[in-house]
Each structure stands twice: as C-alpha cells, then as structure tokens.
Structure 1
Amino acid sequence: MQLFYSASITQESDLYTFPREESKHIIRVLRKQTGDEITLTNGKGYLFKGKIIDNNPNKCTIQLHSAQFQEPLPYKLHIAIAPTKLNDRFEWFLEKSTEIGITEITPIICDHSERKQIKEERFNKILQSAMKQSLQVHLPILHPAISFKDFIKSQPQASFSGIAHCEEGEKSPLTKEITASKDILILIGPEGDFSPEEIRNALASNYTQITLGTSRLRTETAGIVACHSIAFLHQ
C-alpha cells in the first residue's frame, strides 16, 4: 500500500487536491488513473481512502469516501536528545525512531553540543516520510530546539523521567524502570555527554539516572536503543 500525507484533511473533508509535485508522482510515476483508490493520513490517527476523480498531473483530485481512526501507541514516549554534529546521524535517528514508535522529540542544546541549530523543516519531512513508509498514521511531534537548562525548567515531569549519561555513578537499567510506565521521558546527551552540572540539574529535578547497556553508545544509537527497549516492553 502507498500511503500519502496531508495535515489539512479532516473527517469532514469531501475532496482533496494534491500539490503539484505529489500530483506528478501519483499520475506520472505511479501511473494512477481516474477511479484508482488512494490512501492517505493526516498524521493525527486517521486513515482516509478516496478515489481519483481528476488525474491531472498538476492537481490530482480525489473524492474521499472513508475515514478510520487508529489508536495511538499504548504508551507516550518523549525523547529529548542533543542534535549530532553530522546531520545525517540525527536524521537516521528521526527516521528509525518513527518506524519503531515515538510520540515526541525535542532537540536539546547542551553544554557540550557541537551543533546548536537544526533544520526543522527538513527534519519534519523526514518524520513524514518515515511515517508513510512504515504505514503509520500518528506523526511524531518535533519540538523546536531548546537549551537543556530551559527544557528542564519548562518540561512537566512524566510518570518516568530518566537521564542516560556516561559518568560514573549508580544507574538503573532502563528496562527495569519502565515496565509499568505509560508516560516516559528520556534525556540523551551529545557526543561529549552531558556536563556534570547538567546531570546535577536533572537529578535535582527528580530525573532517574539510567543505563542503556554496557557499551558506550553514540547519541543516535542511544536514542534508538531507548526507543526500541520501550517498544519491546510494551508489546
């Protein structure tokens, strides 16, 4: 099944016209004809189906005939993670975490961060593409980049909030901590790790120190390990 995306479609929508580039893809690449069925989502849990009534490659139009709501993940997962120095590594995290299952992503700028700006528009397109490729109908929320300090001050506590870091100290395995949690927030630092002050601030805000295993992981790998561990335990 080929899944398309449009944030503007609602349950009340009757007709939808695709943008020019997507219309070209549907008509000239996929070779869809009038009467062919199209499936799309608004990223808010709805799966829509419609039939092409105008196969114009510049403005392909469909008549919507059904809308079905699909339940979200049985848990809420918010990962606040430092953008990596190389954009492609962070983009890989965005893609794979969407495929596995994640609710919210916040890029956090830390004391040791080498990258302090993100390409929000590009990152959102990657999330959309990953959602469509994995045939999901809930688009993860990508928040604007924020400093670690401001994030700790402004973000409400989840039922479980953990910080993964490489410093010495007593840590609890993530898989042990989240078995009963349905609202989870995980902090993952940059390549240079969180600073000692950032770790102290997180602990003062009631974050739990967690470990993701015995190996030292890259930032994007740590994000995927956390994402997969939580998904696996909630199957």
Structure 2
Amino acid sequence: MHLFYQPALSPTDTSGTLTDDDARHATRTLRLGPGEAIAVTNGRGNRFLSVITKADNKQCAFRVETVDTVAPRPFSVRICVAPTKNLDRVEWFVEKAVELGIERISFFFGQHSERRVLKLERIEKIAVAAMKQSLQAWLPQLDEAVPLAQLLKQPADGQRFIAHLPEDGQAPHLFSAAGPAQQYIVLIGPEGDFSAQEVQQAIDAGFQLVTLGPNRLRTETAALSACQSLNLLNVVNLVNL
C-alpha cells in the first residue's frame, strides 16, 4: 500500500486531503482513483488507513477508515554532524539514516567546517521521502545548523559521545561504549575533523571519546556508521532478552 505524508492530520480526523506534491504523485504518477486504499501518516506516529474519495488534477481527498499508532522506539538516536562541502553527501546521509531509523539529526559548524550555510528545505523533503519509502510513521526532527559551542550548551539527557580517535588510540568503539535502550547523542566532525580545542570542549560538556573502527571515514560515512551501530546494538539486546 502506498504511504503519503500529511502533517496536518490529527488522530481524531475522519477525512483529509493530500498535500499538493503527494496529490500530484498519487493521481498523475500512480494513477490512483476513488475507491482505492492508501495509507497516510502525519509523521508523529499515526498511520491513517484510508480510501480515496476524490482524485483530480487539483485535489486528492480521502476518508479515514482506521488509525494505527506506532509507538516510539525504546531508544533514540541523535546524530550531530557538520555539513560537508558537497551537499549531496549530507543529503545521502539523511536519506539512509531515516531509512535505517533515527530520531533526530542536528547540524553544526566547527572550526574546520568548509560549509558555513545550510538550508533545511531540501533536506526536509529528502527526509519525508525516505520516511515514506521505508513505510515509517515517525519523521525525524531536523535542526538548523548552529556553531558547535552553541550545540554543546544545549541541555541533553542520555549518553553522549564524540567520534574522534585520540593520538594514543585509546578510545572504545561506540558499539561497546553505549548501553542498550538509552537516549544517544553522537558528534561527527567535518572533513577536517574536530580541532583539539573542540574535542576538549566536548569532553568538558560530558561527551565521551569513541571510535567507529580503525579506518578513516568520510563525514557522511561516519555519521551513518554511528547511527547503525546504535540501531544494531539495540537489535542485539532485544534478541538476547
């Protein structure tokens, strides 16, 4: 069944209309018409199993048959990443992280960042498309880019990590440092890595040094690796319960 996104829907609604983009996709690309079943999510955990009542060049309306609620995961992953110079790499990370499962993506500018401007509009569209592609009911939170110093001052619960291999190589892998069923925050640096000052600032703010393995990874690869390491950790924990 095709999944569409309508953020204005609430669990008590009995009918609705698709957004302009989704309406065009439904009627022109998929050629869906009245009487056909669709699913719609508001990105906040609700999935509306619906039937199309009107479909033309201007509007796609539907009647809600049932509403399912998808519970949040028993853990949450927040990746804080410095945008790469090549924006395509950021977009690739967002798409794949949403497909795999992530609750929040925050962007920051570090001392070695080559990109200093980031507009979220296109990234938000990519996140929505990935949510629909992977048939999920939760849309991750996307945060505007801020300086790293400002990010470190934000209150945060749970386990906090900074992915950076110290010169002496003495740091655990994220998979072994994290505990299951927690709230996680992981800092991923820019192409030029964190400066020594930034690493110390993160440690002073309560972040633990971890590695993502012996290989030097690109920013977007490191961010996705951290996301999947935490997802896998919790899958393994559930299997062993």
TM-score (norm 2): 0.93
1:162 and 2:152 equivalent?
no
Distance 1:81 1:24 in 2: 34
Distance 1:20 1:180 in 2: 41
* CA drift at 1:19: 3.2
- Mean CA deviation greater in 174-183 or 187-196: 174-183
1:27 and 2:2 equivalent?
no
Q: Name the structure 2 match of 1:208.
A: 208
SS of 1:145's equivalent?
strand
Judge conservation of contact 1:165–1:211 (CA < 8 Å) in 2. Answer: yes
Distance 1:55 1:181 in 2: 44
1:27 to 1:109, Cα distance in 2 relative to 1, 3 A: same
Q: Name the structure 1 match of 2:238.
A: none
Distance 2:131 2:19 in 1: 19
Q: Name the structure 2 match of 1:231.
A: 231
Q: Name the structure 2 match of 1:97.
A: 97
* CA drift at 1:26: 1.3
* CA drift at 1:122: 0.6
SS of 1:126's equivalent?
helix
Judge conservation of contact 1:101–1:231 (CA < 8 Å) in 2. Answer: yes
1:105 to 1:151, Cα distance in 2 relative to 1, 3 A: same
Judge conservation of contact 1:75–1:182 (CA < 8 Å) in 2. Answer: yes
* CA drift at 1:28: 2.4
Distance 1:21 1:135 in 2: 18
- Mean CA deviation greater in 176-185 or 89-98: 176-185
Distance 1:193 1:135 in 2: 35
1:53 and 2:56 equivalent?
no
Q: Name the structure 2 match of 1:195.
A: 195
Once the two structures are superposed, residues 46-100 of structure 1 have per-residue CA deviations (whole angstroms, 9 ceiling, x without a partner) of 1101111112221111111211001122211111100001000000000011111
Judge conservation of contact 2:78–2:185 (CA < 8 Å) in 1. Answer: yes
Distance 1:16 1:74 in 2: 31
* CA drift at 1:105: 0.7
Distance 1:23 1:83 in 2: 32
Distance 1:165 1:81 in 2: 13
Judge conservation of contact 1:85–1:115 (CA < 8 Å) in 2. Answer: yes
Distance 1:207 1:59 in 2: 49
Q: Percent identity?
A: 38
Q: Which runs of 5+ in 2 are unaligned?
A: 236-241
* CA drift at 1:22: 2.6
Judge conservation of contact 1:16–1:62 (CA < 8 Å) in 2. Answer: yes
Judge conservation of contact 1:81–1:187 (CA < 8 Å) in 2. Answer: yes
TM-score (norm 1): 0.96
* Residues 1-235 of structure 1 mapped to structure 2, 5 A cutoff: 1-154=1-154, 156-169=155-168, 170-235=170-235
